[in-house]
Structures are given as C-alpha cells and as structure tokens.
Amino acid sequence: MATVDTPTTSTTARRKVGRLSVTISYAILALVAFVVVFAGVLAPFDPNKQDLNAILLPMSGEHWLGTDDLGRDVFSRMLHGTRVSVLAALLAVALSVVIGLPFGIAAGWLGGVTDLIIMRIVDAVMSFPAIVLAIGITATMGPDIITAMISVGIVMSPAILRLARAQTMAIRSETYIEAATSFGARGLRRMVVPHVIPNIIQPILVQVAVLMGFALIAEASLSFLQLGVQPPTASWGAVLSRSYTFLDQAPMQIFIPGIAIASTVFAFNIIGDEIQRLLDPKRK
Amino acid sequence: MTEPLLSLENVSVRFPIGRRRHVTAVDGVSLELREGETLGLIGESGSGKSTVARAAMGLAPIAEGTVRWRGKDVSTFNAKERRAFSEAVQMVFQDPHSALDPRRTILQSVREPLDVMGRGNKKDRREVAAKALEDVGLATQMLSRYPHQLSGGQKQRANIARALVTNPKVLVCDESVAALDVALQAEILNLLQDLKAEYDLTILFISHDLSVVSYLADRISVMYLGNIVENATTESLVEQSLHPYSEALLSAQPLVHDSSEGRRIVLKGDIPSPVSPPPGCRFNTRCQFAQEGCREVKPDLVEVLPGHASACLRVDELYADRLGRTVAS
C-alpha cells in the first residue's frame, strides 16, 4: 500500500496562518518603530498637559482614545509611552547581551575554573526572581526607569549567558574549529569573532527577540507598581497603572495599553522564530 | 640515510576519563616521515591512528615522548618556529563537511590559514587561495559558495586546497577519503598523487582501508590498540606480512581476481578497550597463534628483515619461511 505524503489542507492552512502571523508581526514592529521615532510629531496633544475640565472622556473625534483622570489625551500618552517602553526594553535587552554574550562564550570556550566561577555567579543571580530583584534595587537606588531596567537586564542576562555557553561548548569540538586550531587560529580576532560568534548567534538572536517581549512586560509590571517610570512621564505600564485605578469609571481605557503590550510581545516572539528561519545558512 | 622530516619518538597520548583514570590512546609510538615519501598508517577504529596524527600536529596532548621536526623537538619551539612548523605541516580532515565552517564561503575558508598567518595583502591571499582551488580542480564560481552548496567530493577538494595554501612540506591526511564513495575516493587519491608531485609533498596518510593505503603509500605502519605492530615497505607488507594482525587485515581485502589460495582470517570480537588493554601482547585476545607467553610479555617492535619490523613474540617460528630462516626445533 503506497501512501503518498501530500500536504493536507490542514498543513497548508497552518502554513498560511504562519505566514500571515509573520506578516502581521512585521507590520506591528514596523508600526512600533515608526511611533518610537515620530511620537513627538504624531501626538496631537502634549502628553502631560492636564485639563481637569475634561477628565475620563470616552473615545471621540478630538480625543481618539479618550482622556485619563487628569484630562490628559490617552492617544498622545500612548504614543509617547511607546517610545519610553520600547527604549526601556531595548536598554534591558542590550545590557543582558553585553553581559551574557562575552561571559557565556568565555565560560563555554575556556571551561575549567573560568566556567566554574562564572556559572556560580549566574546561579546566584538566577536565584532572585526578576521583579523582586528590581524592586530591591529600585528600593535602594530610588524608583527610576533606568535603574529598574538595568536590574531587569542583569536578571535576564543569565538567559543569554547560558545559551551562549551551551552553544559554544557544542561547537568547540567541531572539526572546523580543530582545523582552524591546526593552522594557528586562536584568540578573539581569529577564532571567536570569525568562527564562534557566527555559529552560535542564531539561537541567541531568537532569545533576544523573546527577551524583548519579556522586558516590555517587565517595564509594564514595574511601572504598574510605580517602581519604573515616574509621573508624569508616560509609558505603557504607567498608562495601564493609571487606567486600572479608574477601571469602573472608564472601563475601556485599560484595553489600550493592554493591547499594545500583548500585540508587541506577540510580534517579538513570532519574529524570533522568523529570525531562526532566516539565519539558517542553508537558505543562502 | 637522511634525517627524517617529521618524527615521533615513543609518543604516548592519554586522555582523562573521570577521576584519576585515563585512557592511553597512543602508547609509545615511534614513526619517521622521510622527505618525499608517503607513509601509510593503518588500523581499525579505535586503534589510535587519528590520535597519532593529532599528536604530530600538536592538537593532542603528548604525555610522553617527543615530536621532532627536522630533528628538533617541537615542544621547545619558540613562537616563530612554531609558526613555521604549522605552516609546514597541514592536515586534511576526515569529514569534508564538518571541517568547513558552515558560515564561511569556500574562499574565506581556504584563505583563512593565510589570514591567520598574515601573509601578504588581501589581494595576494585571494590569489593564492584561488590558485590552490584551481589546483584541486574547483571552478572559480565555487569561491563564493557555502559548504552546504557543494558535493562531498568538492568539499574535500576545498579542504585539500586549504591545506595547500601555506605551501606545506607535509600533508597529514586523516581518513581523508573515508567519507566519500568509491569513485570519488579514486578521484581524490589521484588528485593527492598529482598534488604530491606538484607541491613536493611528504604525506602521512591515515586510513582503515588497506587498499587505499597500499595504492598511495611507499611504507606502511600498522597500528593496533595504540601500538605499532608492523612497519614495512608497502610491497614487503603486502607480499610477506610478518604479523598475525597485518595478515588478518590483508586477508580481509576483497580481491576481484582472487583465486582464493589464501584463507580468510576472520578476527573474532571487537578491538579491546584501551582503558583496560589486555596484558602482554595487545593482540593476544584475538590472535589465533597466541600462546601463554603472549599474555605476559609485551613484544617490542623489532627489525626482522631490512626495513621490515614486526612486534610479535613468535615472529621467528610463525614466519620462518618468509624470513628465510630455519627454526631450531
């Protein structure tokens, strides 16, 4: 009995949905990037300008997304908040890569005592819950978005570090590494940069995209707890926090930052998978 | 006799396995690679032949013994001598696919030894690499391809080209054709022969395949469980082997025109683990001629005929006819 393996409707449909979600994700991220750059131009109002005669207004032609409890235009606050939230997330992720990548490669490549010391420090960092550590740090340093995101970056760095270490260990025994060693390639410039980094970077970029989503949520959580962005600055977390307080008066407003956070995190995760596909050397 | 180009003297290589235990992959091996010759190193999987190659290249930790390059101990080399040594001795690895970095183009990979050694400017290096690729029979349009876009044979050609760009004196080929099919093997072997003449190479050719080795090699060393058991010219080894293990290897060769005068010696069981090698002669567990003494005394490699050495305690009685001697009975 010969069954030919033809793509069934369900796999074709799944593929179509997959392509569609990738396209949507690109669109979301492009929109977010556009807003980050042009928030000042796009916002119809000053995000911090209060108008106590127009508080908690519903959506209207003048205030597209309504106004908050101080009469500030929610649409303008969301646009400016996008910039703050995304830059904060970028800061945290960049920091985690700056810490995680070199130390992860060092641990994986050098092994031995170096590995032991680095990994014990990682274990210590990982034993702190991210938000709790951020709370602790901001409690001592004073609440501030930069401090908060630096602590988020430190807490996230083991994710990059462990991945970089595992990938480095996996490729260390590859024949092309041995071949390079045989003609004297060693050190940062001749071994790590040309051979190690290009061959371990793919899963790390995927992890970076996932961490972007994680950092956005961390920013929102910390700002929600009023440990991140300080008033009157707008961020997605800050808008969310504010609208939560007036949930019974203006129930629609909490959806706006919620949708922004959820869809952007979704987009980063989908793009993470897409990066993996794009970076496969077999596609070249 | 001229001084050997590359020689190993009583080299042992040990790898740690767990706590204070180690495996002796190579146990007191001596080899001489004379200028212009092709030395075949043969043995089955796990005999330590690849480790010998790595020890010679400085890629494996040497526990005992010395590797000499033109008579000078490699471990005493300063940075400049070490560089000259790694330029002069290049290796072609077994698996052509994994020996090339999947994220670098063929040109980048082939040019890399020159980049590392900082030879000439970028344009010169590109030219040298392109010339080497041409010498191994790869077309120019392959330069910008990635390894996965090449066939196995093309990849192995690229590996050979990479080993040639530094203009080496010695090429160490570690099972360099084992991953290829037979037609390609022949192609690569012929290519190596041509390159040997063109580049004035001395080759250490490692393989488990006697027919491949005997096609290329002038002399053959047979390895078993970290030891060399027989050392002879190819002709002498094939015609009048003086060790039971080599005989078993020879008899395992399928011959198209074999009249089946010789009987097939089938070795029983696997090669013992080098973690706990058998006492005495390493081969005694599988040797059909093994006697009590073979389990107690470890035979040395002794020159029994001119240029033909064997490590067998019973060599005199087993091969009396070949040695042209009479055994006092």
pLDDT digits (tens, 9 = 90+) for A110-123: 999 999 999 999 99
- Order the strands of the B6-16 sheet from edge to edge: B22-33, B6-16, B64-69, B72-73
Find which of A174, A178, A182, A202 to mutate to test the B interface (most B CBs within 10 Å of its CB): A182
Q: Does the pLDDT of residue B16 top 90, yes or no?
A: no
* Per-residue model confidence as pLDDT tens digits over B198-208: 989 999 999 98
In a domain, A43, yes or no: no
Reported as a single tens digit per residue, the pLDDT across A121-180 is 999 988 887 778 778 887 888 888 888 898 889 889 999 999 999 999 999 989 999 999
Tokens of B172: 């160490």
Q: Which of A183, A195, A198 sits opposite B90 (nearest CB)?
A: A183
Q: Is the pLDDT of residue B258 over 60?
A: no
- For B6-217, which CATH class? alpha beta
Spatial distance between the Cα atoms of B306 and B300, rounded to a whole number of angstroms: 16
Q: Look at chain A and report how many structural domains it folds into.
A: 1
pLDDT band at A5 (very low <50, low <70, confident <90, very high): low
pLDDT of B176 over the 50 cut = yes
Query: How do beta strands B202-207 and B38-42 pair?
Result: parallel
In a domain, A183, yes or no: yes
Cα–Cα distance, B314 to B329 (Å, whole number) = 14
Interface of B with A in 162-221 (CB under 8 A): 162, 166
- In the three-class reduction of DSSP (H, G, I as helix; E, B as strand; rest coil), residue B26 is classed as strand
With CB atoms and an 8 Å threshold, state whether A179 touches B99: yes
Across A60-76, average pLDDT: 86
Chain B: residue whose CA lies nearest to A197: B103
Predicted pLDDT of residue B117: 85
B288-302 average pLDDT score: 86
The residue among A139 and B10 whose pLDDT is bigger is: B10
* Contact present, A268 and A33 (Cβ < 8 Å): no
User: Cα B135 vs. chain centroid, distance in angstroms?
Assistant: 23
pTM here is 0.82
- Res B129 pLDDT > 80: yes
Q: What is the CB neighbour count within 10 angstroms for residue A262? A: 14
Residue A89 pLDDT exceeds 70: yes
A 31-60 → B contacts, CB under 8 A: none
CB contact under 8 A, B101 and A180: yes
Distance from CA of B112 to the nearest CA of A (A): 8
H helices present in chain A, as ranges: 9-42, 74-110, 112-126, 130-141, 145-172, 175-182, 187, 197-224, 236-245, 255-279
Residue A6 has pLDDT above 70, yes or no: no
Residue A251 domain-assigned? yes
- The yes-or-no verdict on residue B256 having pLDDT over 90 is no
Share of chain A above pLDDT 70, in %: 95
Question: Is A280 near chain B, with CB under 8 Å?
Answer: no
Which residues of chain A does B101 touch, with a Cβ-Cβ cutoff of 8 Å?
176, 180, 194-195, 198-199
Q: What is the pLDDT at residue B328?
A: 46
Band (pLDDT 50/70/90 cuts) for residue B329 is very low
| Contact flag B116-A174 (C-beta cutoff 8 Å) | no
Q: Is residue A73 part of a domain?
A: yes
Residue-level pLDDT at A11 = 74
Q: What is the rounded average pLDDT for all residues in chain A?
A: 87
Residues of B in contact with A184 (CB under 8 A): 82-83, 86, 113, 116-117
State the residue for tokens 């698996």: B95
Q: Closest Cα to residue B75, out of B62, B90, B89, B88?
A: B62
Contact between B98 and A174 using a beta-carbon 8 Å cutoff: yes
Question: The CATH number of the domain where A94 resides is what?
Answer: 1.10.3720.10
Do A182 and B99 count as a contact with CB atoms less than 8 A apart?
Answer: no
- State how far residue A261 is from chain B, nearest Cα, in angstroms: 36
Residue B265, pLDDT above cutoff 80: no
A140 domain residue, yes or no: yes
B292 falls in which pLDDT band (50, 70, 90)? confident
Phi and psi angles of residue A45, each rounded to the nearest 5 degrees, phi first: -130, 165
Residue B1, pLDDT score: 53
Nearest to B158 by CA among B133, B179, B191: B133
Query: Is the CB of residue A179 less than 8 Å away from at least one CB of chain B?
Result: yes
**Mean pLDDT for chain B overall:** 87
Distances in Å between the alpha carbon of A133 and those of A118, A120, A125, A227, B195?
19, 18, 9, 12, 64
Range of the domain at A270: 62-283
Q: Do B93 and A195 touch (CB under 8 A)?
A: no
How many Å lie between the alpha carbon of B133 and the closest alpha carbon of chain A? 17
- Amino acid letter, A278: L
> What is the arithmetic mean of pLDDT over A21-40?
93
A197 within a domain of the structure (yes/no):
yes
pLDDT digit string, tens, across residues A216-247 = 998 888 888 888 888 888 899 899 888 888 88
pLDDT at A199 over 50: yes
Alpha carbon distance B327, B305 (integer Å): 16
Q: Could you give the residue range(s) of every CATH 3.40.50.300 domain in chain B? A: 6-217
Q: Is A42 among the domain residues?
A: no
The yes-or-no verdict on residue B47 having pLDDT over 90 is: no
What string of DSSP letters covers A85-141?
Answer: HHHHHHHHHHHHHHHHHHHHHHHHHH-HHHHHHHHHHHHHHHTS-HHHHHHHHHHHH
Q: What pLDDT was estimated at residue B277?
A: 85
Average pLDDT of the residues in B164-187: 88
pLDDT tops 50 at residue B284: yes
Confidence check on the interface: ipTM exceeds 0.90, yes or no: no
